[in-house]
Amino acid sequence: MAEKYAVGVDIGGTTVKLAIIKETGDIIEKWEIKTNLEDNGASIPGDIWKSVSRKLETHGLRSSELLGIGAGAPGFVDKSTGDVAVAVNIGWKDFALADKLEQLSGLPAVVDNDANIAALGENWLGAGNQAENLIAVTIGTGVGGGIIANGKVISGVNGTAGEIGHITVETDGAPCNCGRNGCLETVASATGIVRQANQSVESGHKTVLTTLFEKNGKISAKDVFESAAAGDRISSRIIERVTDVLGLAIANAATVVNPSKIVIGGGVSDAGEQLLIPLRKAFDKYALPRISDGAEFVKAKLGNDAGVIGAAYLVKQNGKA
Ligand SMILES: [Zn+2]
């Protein structure tokens, strides 16, 4: 049988990442284009297909050699229709992404949210190592979550399953983008870490963060990790709080899923062991011993490629040949 290919697309608020990937997982080419946010992102599907067509030509591939297009969008996705219900950063509302891609390309298209495709990507070619049960947590500006149970990414009735970042961890906590208060990502994202650092500075605590703030006009999550490593007590306390809350939320999610792998990715995970060691400790404190025994924490391996790889896997898994 002739080799088939899939197109993986990972749509973000700034760039759209794309890749042509063999069924075996070999990446033929990956590239990115700018996300055109004009007119509420109306031109994005057309931009995607135009760019893909050009690359197919370059590689001498016909669209009949493609299994389909998989795409991830930053928002809530109805997987059964491939519609994006809401993607705030793009401006999409009830946007029929899968239909539009199918009409443009004449190929089957499947759509899921960006955190789910990242989880699938890590599980196919990255740190997940094709686990049957896995929790992926992406800690960046927000906290994204993707859950694989019994070999499938779970979406739920309207595409909202696995939203670990919106588990409530403080019933009267800071406001979240989702309109509620005290979600995990208000504490454990880069944004949450910076918020806590700013609070400490404002309330006049003695910390090196104040000096950094005065020097740079702002504090980054990286500053907090570096200051903690250098012995700053306030920064250490913030990291302790972050890893404790994160460990608690992941332990609760793990009680539902009983995963063999917990994959931690995103910009904040660059802190490496400084994050992972206390996180594992907090997790062990809150999880059932049998859940802890079965679960291995691993750092995500694919970085920014996880999305396009997972989107291509979505095509392969759906077998829409
Ligand atoms: Zn929230």
Residues 212-219: what's their mean pLDDT?
96
Burial label, 109 (beta-carbon count in 10 A; 0-12, 13-18, 19+): buried
Q: Could you tell me the distance, in angstroms and rounded to a whole number, from the CA of residue 139 to the centre of ligand 1?
A: 14
Q: What is the DSSP string of 63-91?
A: GGGEEEEEEEESSEEETTTTEEEEETTTT
What pLDDT, in 10s, does the model give residues 100-132? 999 999 999 999 999 999 999 999 999 999 999
Tokens found for residue 320 = 């829409």
For ligand 1, the distance from its centroid to the CA atom of residue 321, given in whole angstroms, is 37
Q: What 8-state DSSP symbol labels residue 168?
A: B
Structure tokens at 119: 């989880």
Q: How close is the Cα of 165 to the center of ligand 1, in Å? A: 7
- Give the tens place of pLDDT for each residue, 291-302: 999 999 999 999
Q: What is the mean pLDDT of the chain?
A: 94
pLDDT of the residue at 157: 87
Q: Is the pTM of this model over 0.85?
A: yes
Predicted confidence (pLDDT) per residue in 142-166, tens digit: 899 999 999 999 988 888 899 999 9
Dump pLDDT digits (tens) for 235-284. 999 999 999 999 999 999 999 999 999 999 999 999 999 999 999 999 99
CA of 33 to the centre of ligand 1 (A): 29
Q: What's the gap in Å between 142 CA and the centre of ligand 1?
A: 9
**Residue pair 195/186 in contact by the 8 Å Cβ criterion:** yes
Q: What is the Å distance from ligand 1's center to 234 Cα?
A: 26
Residue with tokens 């939320």: 249
Q: What spacing in Å lies between the alpha carbon of 118 and ligand 1's midpoint?
A: 20
The amino acid at residue 264 is I
HSE-up of 195 (CA within 13 Å, CB side)? 17
Q: How far is the CA of 274 from the centre of ligand 1 (A)?
A: 26
- pLDDT over threshold 60, residue 320: no
**Helix, strand, or coil here: 170?**
coil
Q: Cα(49) to centroid of ligand 1, in Å?
A: 33
